[in-house]
Amino acid sequence: MIINVFKILALSTVFIGLMAGCTTTHRTTSSAKTAVEQLLISEAIARSLPREPTGALPIPRGSTVILDVSGISPAADQMLLQQALAAWLGREGYLIQSDKKAATHQIDVIVGALGTELSGTFVGMPPVTSILIPFSLPELAVYKSQLQTGYVKFHMNIFEIPAGRFVGSTPAFLGDAYHNHYTMALVVSFESSNLMSPPQLGSFFRDSLAAPHPILKEDAKFKFGE
């Protein structure tokens, strides 16, 4: 009986040691936002803007307009929204101005939300660090999900210049994008996403997302003398 107990303890020690050695290190990001977070925001913005002409603005096409974006989201994200809106309004037939004196209307873009959300579920054993054993135990996930969503909501108020008369408001523009990661049975992992060409962790069988641009390829040859 005592021998069996010692065998069980020995096998348990070996198993725990092997599991402690089978860990993967992944540094999420060195920038303010991960590439996935940046894509979630940019693609949510793109999805909020209709591809076909809508006539959503209560002013005639051909009007000269100036944009002003305000909200509580970071300034860089608001600038991205402003640039995307400028291109969309241009396709809608409006002339974007940088000088208020050259515009007939001011469009105030009110950003209700612009950012990412993260949620998840975990079933298993979380990482363990103890002073009783000389090593740490890694996370053991029977099931784990990490769900990321990018979301944008805004509307536009339009005023005449220079009178300042309120012309009208647009309906709310809404857009979202998602990127989810799942782990099952400790080692099986997969992703679900509607992002265009999301970043992938490197592997032995991975190919580049796209071939180098021909012009850039020729420049590289000239630079390095290939």
Torsion of CA 219, 210, 27, 35, to 10 degrees: 100
Q: What is the pLDDT of residues 9-35, one digit of tens each?
A: 444 444 444 444 444 445 555 667 889
- Residue 142 structure tokens: 């029977």
Whether the predicted pLDDT of 164 surpasses 90: yes
Distance from C-alpha of 197 to C-alpha of 210, rounded to nearest angstrom: 10
Domains of the chain: 36-200 (3.40.50)
Residue, of 22 and 128, whose pLDDT is higher: 128
* Structure confidence at residue 182 as a pLDDT band (50, 70, 90): very high
* Structure confidence at residue 214 as a pLDDT band (50, 70, 90): low
Backbone angles phi, psi at 212, to 5 degrees: -60, 145
Q: What is the pLDDT of residues 195-206, one digit of tens each?
A: 988 887 665 556
Q: Is 180 helix (H, G, I), strand (E, B) or coil?
A: strand
Q: What confidence score (pLDDT) does residue 203 get?
A: 59
**Stated pTM of the model:** 0.75
* Structure confidence at residue 211 as a pLDDT band (50, 70, 90): low
**Ramachandran area for residue 3 (φ above 0: left; ψ -120 to 50: alpha; else beta):** alpha
In the predicted model, what is the mean pLDDT of residues 145-165? 96
The helix (run of H) or strand (run of E) holding residue 219 is helix 214-224
Report the percentage of the chain scoring pLDDT > 90: 54
